[in-house]
Amino acid sequence: MVVDPGCRDHDPGAEIWIGVTTAPADVAERVTVIEAALGELGHPTTPAREYDDTWLTAVHSAELLDYLATVWDRWVAGGYPDLGAGRVVPYLFPSAQLCQGLPPRTPTALHAEVGVYCYDTMTLIGPGSWRAIRAATHTTRTAVDLVVAGAPGAYALTRPPGHHATRSAYGGSCYLNNAAIAAQALREHDFAKVAVIDIDAHHGNGTQAIFYERADVFTTSVHVDPAAGWFPHHVGFADETGRDGGLGANLNLPLTPGSGDAPWLAAIERAADAAAGFGAAALVIALGVDAAIDDPESPLQVSIEGYHRAGEVLGALGLPTVAVQEGGYHLPTLGHLVGATLDGLG
Ligand code: SP5
Ligand code: ZN
């Protein structure tokens, strides 16, 4: 397991959902309980190395990276905490209907700029957020380097998670897309084709978007059906199969709320078969454990045995594998769910 203590430094403070300020799901204790559970299972710890930010531009726009790196300081300089806004939070979104197809502007007011990059009201930024966002990318890159050096697999204990972050936008408790960063880094290390299999309870919309037109990275996601009223609501449908050169290189497998082990595992087997059929030379697992029975953020009903079996199914592909942590919010079971999955992977 690759860890970076900086991943604890992000404190979103709250999630604002339908205007109600609620406790954040992504708390630093998530890292603590996963690290403890994996430690008990005998997983050795590798500290993340530092990397410069230049390579991040392969999957994210320079504008998003610059915004994330600077927005907290600009927020403080703008006096927003003194107005009671203790976190960076959007209030206005440049929707297509608002902007009429006119050229995009950068609003003069910082409080209007936030919604250019942030697509929901649940993904706040505080003083330590950028440190943690970068630490998660370092953790990811270190895991890739372990695999490139010959390890059969490596697990990156990333926080905040990443799979909802697109090239230029963040949301869904995600800021930079660690799974996409891993896939891109594996590509740059001569794995000709890479598959991303996303088993987080929510659709991996950011990863899908980043690779949607690319034929060299296959993306597939097993998740609760957005048509049943679940995040990310607008994407994650089965008819999204890629575009242009990437046509056929995206597979969405939405599940009915309440689905337990059998349909979830059948979907993961389909995803694994598709990744093998694609000819993937390396695998990235977007390892969310929020499909579990006790998780507060999803209606899927997967058992810990189901997670172990998912690990076995994915491990049977026999590919060099980087697993990055995505969601999973039930603190008492979180670490054991990750442990069971990694044990199944072998
Ligand atoms: C990485 C990941 O799992 N992100 C989850 C994003 C989905 N969040 C949706 C939240 C919907 C409202 N939740 C209500 C509970 C308030 N704490
Ligand atoms: Zn999730």
Which ligand neighbours the alpha carbon of 162 most closely? 1
The pLDDT confidence band at residue 53, using thresholds 50, 70 and 90, is: confident
Residues ≥6 apart with Cβ < 8 Å to 34: 157, 325, 334, 335, 338
Mean pLDDT of 255-271: 98
Determine the atom of ligand 1 nearest the C-alpha atom of 24. 17
What's the Cα-to-Cα distance from 210 to each of 79, 151, 162, 342, rounded to whole Å?
Answer: 34, 27, 12, 26
Tell the residue nearest (CA) to atom 16 of ligand 1: 22
Res 54 pLDDT > 90 = no
Sign of torsion, CA 276 277 282 287?
Answer: negative
Give the per-residue pLDDT at 81. Answer: 98
* 214 three-state secondary structure: coil
Whether the Cβ atoms of residue 270 and residue 172 lie closer than 8 Å to each other = no
Distance 345 CA to ligand 1 centre (A): 27
- pLDDT at res. 55: 84
Ligand nearest to the CA of 200: 2
CB burial of residue 331 (10 Å; 0-12, 13-18, 19+): middle
Q: Is the pTM of this model over 0.75?
A: yes
299 confidence band (pLDDT: 50, 70, 90) = very high
Q: Band the pLDDT of 172: cuts 50, 70, 90.
A: very high
Catalytic residue among 43, 60, 164, 223: 164
Tens digit of each residue's pLDDT (9 = 90 or more) over 82-136? 999 999 999 999 999 999 999 989 899 999 999 999 999 999 999 999 999 999 9
Q: Catalytic: 164? A: yes
